[in-house]
């Protein structure tokens, strides 16, 4: 039953042909059978899941159910969950049990979704391959010698392997869209400020945004509808009412203007990805859309700008992990300063240390103006480029990743090559725009290729509608890995 769409599962639950307890049990069995291979989950909450499923069955019996009631799901382990381990993929938080729920967790609980566990991730969401986790790398269900993408690779792999129908993720520079593309599923990052960051452990506060993974755009729309709305506890949460993101699913694509940035189709994209992307664009034209050339002249500067701004914010955000109040503390130390140094040295992995050092450097006296201020100026220019492009088109399309999933360990010793994996996604975060990735075919080695769609501010419903129309005429989203 978990292989079905969220809409089909919800219909079966209402018709009582399956119960929420049966669904949760099936999901837990799939995790038990496959997690040793995929390593998608850090924590499985069997007792909590079955209790939530029983409560969902009671709601269904009372006729008080919504689209997500009784649906098994997983949370990326960056979201705090009351009474459940919340590690952020780090040794630093390997013993941290959160005393409260993140706002996203609260909303999805209220919608009746059944959390079965917490998914693996790059440590503190820093990575593009999910190899930086203290709990070991996640493996791509399409080829377990390959990465699933990151940092939300555990969530993407769990949905792709049909362990759960839906999962949450976070996207700071592409960490929902890139793993969705590499795992052959659909993922959406909404406009910055649409989903509350309360209880979402921070990496780079001005870039982080929660979002959704599912097999289809329609499923993502149903999930996102339950996740959004103003939260006064998050100062960056926008004062907007919750929306129905399914409202544009039936809207035809006739006359839709799809912008193709010249910079996205230059050098750097592999031939197999290019072929799949061009075939997907041809399908959109068959559905009535027209393509227009646009330019994002500062997009090439997105990676250097991001790798100044994000590490600077990480340096500040991660200063709280000092071994004093919670998290890892060194077993032996001399004085307070020695405890700080040893606890952080032991608790953080290599990539996190690298980004903290970069961030501290660019914020230091004499370099703040030379690097950080200039990066923020570039950020504004990138946002202005998108604004100009949207005067010529309704949505922007292009590749999500320059290649299909690469081998585990292939880029581990070359951080710059690893960072270039996000070359098409980072600019979207810098501008605060919504972005979506959906399956668009297969490339080398039979590995999935994802098409990225970028919308104007608060254009999530239109993006989801566009992707849904594509998925009504193709079956890439229905393909599943042998694992």
pLDDT in tens, 371-405: 999 999 999 999 999 999 999 999 999 999 999 99
pLDDT recorded at residue 82:
98
Average of per-residue pLDDT across 352-370: 94
Three-state secondary structure string covering the chain:
CCCCCHHHHHHHHHHCCCCHHHHHHHHHHHHHHHHHHHCCEEEECHHHHHHHHHHHHHHHHCCCCCCCCCCEEEEECCECCCCCECCCCCHHHCCCECCCCCHHHHHHHHCCCEEEEEECCCHHHCCCCCCCCCCCCCCECCECCECCCCCCHHHHHHHHCCCCCEEEEECCCCCCHHHHHHHCCEEEECCCCCCCCCCECCCCCCCCCEEEEECCHHHHHHHHHHHCCCCCCCCCCCCCCCCCCCCCCCCCCCCCEEEEEHHHHCCCCCHHHHHHHHHHHHHHHHCCCEEEEECCCCHHHHHHHHHHHHHHHHHHHHHHCCCCCCCCCCCCCCCHHHHHHHHHHHHCCHHHHHHHHHHHHHHCCCCHHHHHHHHHHHHHHHHHHHHHHCCCCCEEEEECCCCCCCECCCCCCCHHHHHHHHCCCHHHHHHCCCEEEEEEEECHHHCEEEEEEECCCCCHHHHHHHHHHHHHHCCHHHCCCCC
Q: Residue written as tokens 């997907």? A: 280
Domains of the chain: 1-483 (3.90.1300.10)
The pLDDT assigned to 219 comes to 98
Q: State the catalytic residue, choosing from 76, 118, 189, 411.
A: 76
Beta strands 435-442 and 290-294, pairing class: unpaired
Token look-up 């297969």 returns 442
Q: How far apart are CA 281 and CA 467, in angstroms?
A: 12
Q: Which of 19, 129, 133, 151 is catalytic?
A: 151
pTM score of the predicted model: 0.97
Q: Calculate the average pLDDT of the chain.
A: 97
The catalytic residue among 19, 129, 133, 175 is: 175
Q: What is the CA radius of gyration of the chain?
A: 21
Bin 305: left if φ > 0, else alpha if -120 < ψ < 50, else beta.
alpha
Cα angle vertex 145, ends 156, 273, to 5°? 65
299-320 as b/e: b if 16+ CB within 10 A: bebbbebbbbbbbbbbbbbbee
| Angle between helix 302-317 and helix 374-389 axes, rounded to 10 deg | 130
What percent of the chain has a predicted confidence (pLDDT) above 90? 96
Percent of the chain whose pLDDT exceeds 70: 100
> Which pair of structure tokens corresponds to residue 14?
């209402």
Can you give the pLDDT at residue 1? 86
Nearest to 213 by CA among 159, 153, 150, 140: 159
Q: What is the largest CA-CA distance in the chain?
A: 70
Task: List, for residues 249-283, the tens digit of each pLDDT value.
Answer: 999 999 999 999 999 998 889 999 999 999 999 99
Q: How far apart are CA 344 and CA 139, in angstroms?
A: 28
151 among known catalytic residues: yes
pLDDT digits (tens, 9 = 90+) for 408-440: 999 988 988 999 999 999 999 999 999 999 999
Contact 257, 288 (CB under 8 A): no
Annotation says 175 is catalytic: yes
């Amino acid at each position: 039953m978990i292989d079905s769409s969220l809409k089909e599962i919800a219909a079966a639950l209402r018709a009582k042909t399956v119960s929420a307890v049966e669904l949760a049990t099936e999901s837990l069995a799939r995790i038990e059978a496959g997690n040793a291979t995929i390593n998608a989950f850090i924590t499985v909450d069997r007792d909590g899941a079955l209790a939530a499923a029983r409560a969902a069955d009671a709601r269904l019996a009372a006729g008080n159910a919504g689209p997500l009631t009784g649906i098994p799901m997983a949370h990326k382990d960056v979201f705090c969950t009351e009474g459940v381990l919340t590690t952020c993929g780090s040794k630093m938080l390997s013993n941290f049990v959160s005393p409260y729920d993140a706002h996203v967790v609260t909303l999805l609980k209220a919608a009746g979704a059944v959390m079965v566990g917490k998914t693996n991730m790059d440590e503190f969401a820093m990575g593009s391959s999910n190899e930086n986790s203290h709990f070991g790398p996640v493996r791509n269900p399409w080829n377990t010698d390959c990465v699933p993408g990151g940092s939300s690779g555990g969530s993407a792999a769990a949905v792709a392997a049909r362990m759960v129908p839906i999962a949450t993720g976070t996207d700071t520079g592409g960490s929902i869209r890139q793993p969705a593309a590499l795992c052959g599923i659909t993922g959406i990052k909404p406009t910055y400020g649409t989903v509350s960051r309360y209880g979402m452990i921070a990496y780079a506060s001005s870039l982080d945004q929660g979002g959704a993974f599912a097999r289809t755009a329609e499923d993502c729309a149903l999930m996102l509808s339950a996740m959004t709305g103003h939260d006064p506890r998050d100062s960056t949460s926008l004062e907007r009412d919750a929306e129905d993101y399914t409202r544009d699913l039936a809207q035809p694509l006739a006359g839709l203007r799809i912008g193709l940035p010249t910079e996205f189709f230059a050098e750097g994209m592999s031939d197999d990805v290019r072929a799949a992307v061009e075939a997907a664009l041809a399908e959109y034209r068959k559905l009535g859309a027209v393509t227009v050339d646009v330019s994002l002249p500062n997009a090439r500067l997105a990676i250097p700008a991001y790798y100044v701004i994000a590490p600077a914010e990480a340096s500040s955000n991660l200063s709280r992990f000092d071994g004093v109040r919670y998290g890892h503390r060194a077993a032996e130390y001399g004085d307070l300063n020695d405890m700080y140094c040893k606890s952080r040295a032991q608790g953080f992995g290599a990539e996190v240390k690298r980004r903290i050092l970069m961030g501290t450097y660019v914020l230091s006296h004499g370099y703040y103006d030379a690097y950080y201020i200039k990066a923020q100026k570039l950020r504004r220019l990138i946002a202005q480029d998108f604004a100009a492009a949207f005067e010529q088109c309704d949505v922007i399309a292009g590749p999500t990743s320059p290649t299909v999933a690469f081998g585990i360990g292939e880029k581990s010793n070359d951080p710059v090559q690893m960072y270039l994996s996000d070359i098409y996604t980072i600019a979207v975060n810098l501008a605060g725009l919504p972005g979506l990735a959906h399956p668009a075919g297969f490339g080398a080695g039979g590995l999935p290729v994802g098409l990225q769609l970028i919308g104007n501010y608060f254009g999530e419903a239109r993006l989801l509608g566009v992707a849904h129309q594509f998925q009504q005429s193709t079956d890439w989203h229905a393909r599943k890995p042998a694992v």
